[in-house]
């Protein structure tokens, strides 16, 4: 459906055109896209393209700011650790010992990431205050890959709890 609005201004004429398209897909996806989570954020919908994930990554936590700059860290299954300062390339960090990697795996398993929707975003009322920061969380454990995007100011307790537990491990090496 095409919507057109015309407005006359001194010395000019402006036409704004908006296009609304109906997308195919199941009604379940449409229902999920409109569902509100316990945190008051909308859930479901399509997963946005997240940051590139390297091969063998156990967990990747990246925040993308309104200007598209990425910052975060990745932990590989073999204990390698990389971090990415805001807008800079990935840099190698210290290596986690096997016990620390096991604690990260345990944190992932205990967080319930597998029960989360792929995307959480502010409701229209919250969107006016949104900073357009997006947290992209990627996990791969026991052969299961999981990607979750959280558009701030939304908070997802399972994601925040996982990050807090992993940060306790990272404090030991950084």
Q: How does pLDDT run across 117-150, given as a tens digit for each residue?
A: 999 988 877 665 556 789 999 999 888 999 999 9
Whether residue 16 is contained in a domain is answered as no
How many Cα atoms are found within 13 Å in the side-chain-facing hemisphere of 96?
A: 27
pTM of the entire predicted model: 0.74
At 103 the pLDDT is: 98
Whether residue 37 is contained in a domain is answered as no
Residues 6+ apart with CB under 8 A from 11: none
CATH of the domain at 102: 3.30.1560.10
Between the alpha carbon of residue 155 and those of residues 62, 69, 149, 165, the distances in Å are 15, 21, 11, 16
Q: Which domain holds residue 147?
A: 45-171
Domain count, the chain: 1
Q: Return the bridge partners of 15, or none.
A: 6
pLDDT tier at 162, thresholds 50, 70, 90? very high
- Report which of residues 151 and 39 the model is more confident about: 151
Whether residue 91 is contained in a domain is answered as yes
């Amino acid at each position: 459906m095409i919507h057109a609005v015309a407005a006359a201004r001194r010395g000019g004429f402006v036409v704004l055109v908006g296009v609304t398209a109906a997308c195919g897909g199941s009604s379940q996806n449409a229902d999920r896209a409109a569902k509100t989570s316990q945190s008051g954020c909308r859930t479901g919908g399509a997963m946005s393209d997240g940051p590139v994930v390297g091969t063998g990554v156990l967990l990747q936590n990246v925040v993308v700011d309104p200007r598209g700059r990425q910052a975060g860290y990745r932990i590989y299954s073999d204990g390698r650790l990389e971090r990415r300062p805001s807008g800079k390339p990935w840099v190698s960090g210290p290596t986690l010992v096997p016990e620390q990697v096991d604690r990260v795996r345990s944190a992932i398993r205990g967080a319930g990431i597998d029960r989360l929707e792929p995307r959480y975003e502010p409701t229209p009322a919250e969107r006016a205050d949104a900073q357009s920061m997006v947290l992209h969380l990627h996990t791969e454990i026991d052969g299961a890959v999981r990607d979750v995007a959280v558009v701030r100011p939304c908070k997802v307790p399972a994601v925040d709890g996982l990050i807090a537990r992993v940060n306790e491990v990272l404090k030991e090496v950084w």
